[in-house]
Structure 1
Amino acid sequence: MKKTRMAAGTVAGLMAIGLLAGCGGNNNNGGSASPSESASASQASPSASPSASPSEAAKQVNLRLYTYGTEETYNWKQTLGAYEESHPGITVELVQLSEKGDTQEASKKLDLAAASSEAMDILMFSDPSGYAQRVSLGMAEPLDDYIAKDGYQVETDYKVDTHLNGKVYALPGKFNPWYVILNKDHLDEAGLPVPTDWTWDDYASYAKQLTKGEGASKRYGTYFHGPQGGGWMEYLKLMVENQPTNSDLLKADGSSNLDDPNFKKTLELRVKMEKEDKSSVPYSDIISQKLAYRTQFFNQSASMLTIGSWMNTELGGTEKVPLTFNVAVAPFPKNNASDPIGYTPVTTDYVAVAASSKHKQEAYDFVRWYTTEGQIVQGKNIPSWNQVKSEQVASIIDTILSGTLNPEKVDKQSLVDTLVNSKASQIIPPASYQSEVYKAVNEEYEKLILGNQDIDTTIKNAQERAQKIIDSNK
């Protein structure tokens, strides 16, 4: 393909993102997927779209879909085949950016393709940061007019609100909320029911009751896998990230959110559970022994694990990490009993129309179909679309669990109920210095949890260091 030059500033911005992508990792998707098969689409059963029909023009339209999703994890042949069969005149060409589903590799290739002015129609972003950064570079088309024409609202039609600066540039595909997985055998032993609506105080109480033994053979009530080196920061925002708004350590305008009382309460919770109740695996062990969350839970060293629902594909056990006990699932805990249930950290696919597309209406029609009924056709993930019924989620879960060794050991109803009732907080566009703030806060937390400073000093130091970083980036 002939390459043309773009504005120097845009190219520089894209290259900068490429460098930043190396910091992201795959922490929120449970690791890389297997290599994909051929990207050619096969025919499948038709499915009607809830959006407006494609362009009435009789001409053939080829849409180019740029994605990191592999055939194994996204079932593209069946999905794209179903769309093409139900939308005559439209073909969807899959542009596979990473054969192993590596989102870092895919992001770099996407930026290079944009800088080379390749023909693009549909783009997929794997995280809020990648979505926000590429919107700021003008890569995604605003969808508000299309959405208004179709007569729905993103914030009510989907579990993930994708607004950025008052506009919508993408619709959400899969829905991977965080939840709590529990050793049901340990619950039964302690006479504890599977939680369906609980608070962090309840969580701490469960952890204390589930803790058993001493020394090297001690079984802890829970395991928190972070923070670590500025990553896995979900574990330092436990009582912040379950809020509808301001759910991060920085606010939407880039200012500090460390004065949020729920940040202090999170620190108090972590200290209480580790130091007083001795019900959570010590932070020093996590770091020094490089503990893995899968083995901590599946080896029954910890009875509860707060983690993302990418674990759905492993809940029934795998060859690498077999399951020898019964598992149940509970929602992400609330702060107060009166709080609305369901708010939790969520990962999704942000599916956008390329600003450079010559077929924007047709591209939008695909995006709307794919993020709604197309998710059912795909059958690989839980959809963000609110119109999906519980029985449809149950069917998808059956398919997912059937790929594990012991699906019968998973309390499927608790899993379905948790997923159906989960919802995401409002997106906060990441600041360019967010990783610096995360690292500074992580370092202050380490001083706290290792006994070198108290909570008030930790908050004071974290606030001061964060503010210096913010000020230096103004």
Structure 2
Amino acid sequence: MRMKKIWAFLIAAVLFSVLFTGCSESGKKAASDSKKDNKVTIKFHSHGNEESYNWKNTIEAFEKKYPNIDVELAILSEKGDTQEAAKKLGLAAASGEQMDVIMFSESASYSQNVSMGMAAPLDEFINEEGYKVTEEYKVDTQINGKYYALPGKFNPWFVLLNKDHLDAAGLTIPKDWTWEEFMDYAKAMTRDGHYGTYFHGPQNGSWLEYLRLALASENEDSEFTTEGGKSNLDHPLFKKTLEMRVKMEKEDHSAVPYEEVLTHKLHYREQFFTQAASSIIIGSWINAELGGTELNPLNFNVTVAPFPKNEKADKGGYTPVTTDYMAVAAKSEHKKEAYTFIRWYTTEGQIIQGKNVPSWNKVSNHDISIIIERILNGTKNPEKIDKKSLIDVLTNAKSSKFVSPVPNQAEIYKVLNEEYEKLIFGEQNIDRTIEVAQQRVHEILSNNQ
């Protein structure tokens, strides 16, 4: 009887042990499954390819810091073609594809997609975090009082100068200058065999930045239209730009003639790198080529000056800027996680990516120096670049207040291009150019309403 009781006890103990182990394993599996269920995958649509944006290392760094968020990257153009990317983005949206993070390549695309309801407002997240976008970043992305994106890279325009031509003319490197001084420099550097400067636009309704040079130096009202969708062509600084272009080409003979630009299909790269022009006004995307490439070798010294301002007393530093607009998709089911990614990417993520100067104001000069060093070292002759001037210009550049592009902006660009050609080819004077352009642009804007 005693043995039966012992055997019964042992059998019960074994059964209890098996049952407890089974429950314990089930509990562990349930906890593991629950942890897995808490992980979120967000889909990120980008026009940027791996070569230009170093996505693999960048996304790995984000996922290491935020292990509960996986980022699925959808590259919309392996060539980095923004037009191809825009078409594919539209198709993806129309097909109902998952969208959480969207990268827009320029302001017109950003504004248009916001008006179509593709991007979600970020103000709730921004207010919760407690920062001001204009203090945190160099680029203001506000549209109609709301923020729909945070800015990534910071590509301001500046003036590239042939340092050898500068020295030959007895000129110092400009640290703070006006458009009048820019004109004087171009005239002084002009010699037999080369011009003082080259303007790459307007051409075929594009590169219209070259018709708003003086406007672009201002903090506000820096575009051809106002925030209210009205024409800004009666602004005196639009007239000032036209006057400057005519004087430099027709009187000073310091700028490459517009007719040559069109007839010979000239390009800013070959004009600068072959020393046909002593200076060019261009965006800092050219940093990756500054030290020369196989196609455009560098055989002279290069320095950089800030985008000129209008008056000596002006604050200065304002310039056209291109950036990537990082938005959260309006239809995303993971808006918080998507915002977490774009906030990280537009701050410390830009430093880790190491391909561009960030729009983030809190990046240190040391970090910018490292990024610039890395970019220039990818060129053939980085030692010929005045790195200090380049870094000074990039760190002090500022974006003007954002003006939402109008729906028919391409038509306006075409009109301005046509009227400028009539001016520069002597078919009408400056006042007539402004008058006709104003009438035609007003008609386009009226049709938008």
Taking structure 2 as the reference length, what is the TM-score of the superposition? 0.91
1:186 has 2:165 as partner = yes
2:133 maps to a residue whose letter is: V
Instruction: Give the structure 1 partner of residue 68 of structure 2.
Output: 89
Is residue 341–residue 421 contact of structure 1 (8 Å, CA) maintained in 2? no
Instruction: Give the structure 1 partner of residue 128 of structure 2.
Output: 149
1:447 maps to a residue whose letter is: K
Instruction: Give the structure 2 partner of residue 204 of structure 1.
Output: 183
The 1:57/1:245 distance shift into structure 2, 3 A limit, reads: farther
Instruction: Give the structure 1 partner of residue 247 of structure 2.
Output: 272
1:253 has 2:228 as partner = yes
Cα distance in 2 for residues equivalent to 1:391 and 1:93:
32
1:307 has 2:282 as partner = yes
Instruction: Give the structure 2 partner of residue 370 of structure 1.
Output: 345
Cα distance in 1 for residues equivalent to 2:210 and 2:347:
31
Instruction: Give the structure 2 partner of residue 462 of structure 1.
Output: 437
Is residue 420–residue 433 contact of structure 2 (8 Å, CA) maintained in 1? yes
Cα distance in 2 for residues equivalent to 1:416 and 1:466:
39
1:275 maps to a residue whose letter is: K
1:226 has 2:201 as partner = yes
2:88 maps to a residue whose letter is: K
**Secondary structure of 2:154's match?**
strand
Superposed CA offset, 1:175-195 (max 9, x none): 111111000011111111111
Cα distance in 2 for residues equivalent to 1:425 and 1:282:
30
Is residue 63–residue 69 contact of structure 2 (8 Å, CA) maintained in 1? yes
Taking structure 1 as the reference length, what is the TM-score of the superposition? 0.86
**Secondary structure of 2:391's match?**
helix
Report the structure number with the largest CA radius of gyration: 2
Superposed CA offset, 1:157-204 (max 9, x none): 101000001000000000111111000011111111111111100100
Is residue 101–residue 329 contact of structure 2 (8 Å, CA) maintained in 1? yes
**Secondary structure of 1:301's match?**
coil
Cα distance in 2 for residues equivalent to 1:174 and 1:95:
19
Deviation of the 1:472 alpha carbon: 2.8
Instruction: Give the structure 1 partner of residue 18 of structure 2.
Output: none
Instruction: Give the structure 2 partner of residue 104 of structure 1.
Output: 83
1:406 has 2:381 as partner = yes
1:302-451 mapped onto 2 (5 Å cutoff): 302-451=277-426
1:235 has 2:201 as partner = no
Root-mean-square deviation (CA, aligned residues, Å) is: 1.2
From 99, 110, 123, the counterpart of 2:102: 123
**Secondary structure of 1:223's match?**
coil
Instruction: Give the structure 1 partner of residue 259 of structure 2.
Output: 284
Bigger shift: residues 436-445 or 122-131: 436-445
Cα distance in 2 for residues equivalent to 1:469 and 1:170:
28
Deviation of the 1:58 alpha carbon: 7.4
**Secondary structure of 2:375's match?**
helix
Superposed CA offset, 1:318-360 (max 9, x none): 0000000000011110011111121111110000111111111
Cα distance in 1 for residues equivalent to 2:401 and 2:120:
20
Cα distance in 2 for residues equivalent to 1:230 and 1:306:
18
1:167 has 2:146 as partner = yes
Instruction: Give the structure 1 partner of residue 8 of structure 2.
Output: none
Is residue 217–residue 316 contact of structure 2 (8 Å, CA) maintained in 1? no
1:303 maps to a residue whose letter is: S
Is residue 250–residue 434 contact of structure 1 (8 Å, CA) maintained in 2? no
**Secondary structure of 2:318's match?**
coil
Superposed CA offset, 1:88-130 (max 9, x none): 2211111111111111111111111111111111110001111
Give the number of equivalent residue pairs: 415
Give the helix-richer structure, 1 or 2.
2
Is residue 239–residue 265 contact of structure 1 (8 Å, CA) maintained in 2? yes
**Secondary structure of 1:222's match?**
coil
Bigger shift: residues 228-237 or 429-438: 429-438
Bigger shift: residues 425-434 or 256-265: 425-434
Superposed CA offset, 1:48-94 (max 9, x none): xxxxxxxx997111111110111111001110000111112211111
**Secondary structure of 2:171's match?**
coil
Is residue 105–residue 325 contact of structure 2 (8 Å, CA) maintained in 1? yes
Cα distance in 2 for residues equivalent to 1:343 and 1:447:
30
Cα distance in 1 for residues equivalent to 2:61 and 2:409:
41
Deviation of the 1:301 alpha carbon: 0.6
Bigger shift: residues 460-469 or 76-85: 460-469
Superposed CA offset, 1:261-280 (max 9, x none): 00011111111111111100
Bigger shift: residues 401-410 or 353-362: 353-362
2:282 maps to a residue whose letter is: I
1:65 has 2:40 as partner = no
Cα distance in 2 for residues equivalent to 1:462 and 1:137:
29
Superposed CA offset, 1:394-441 (max 9, x none): 100010001100000000011101010111111211111211122112
The 1:342/1:58 distance shift into structure 2, 3 A limit, reads: farther
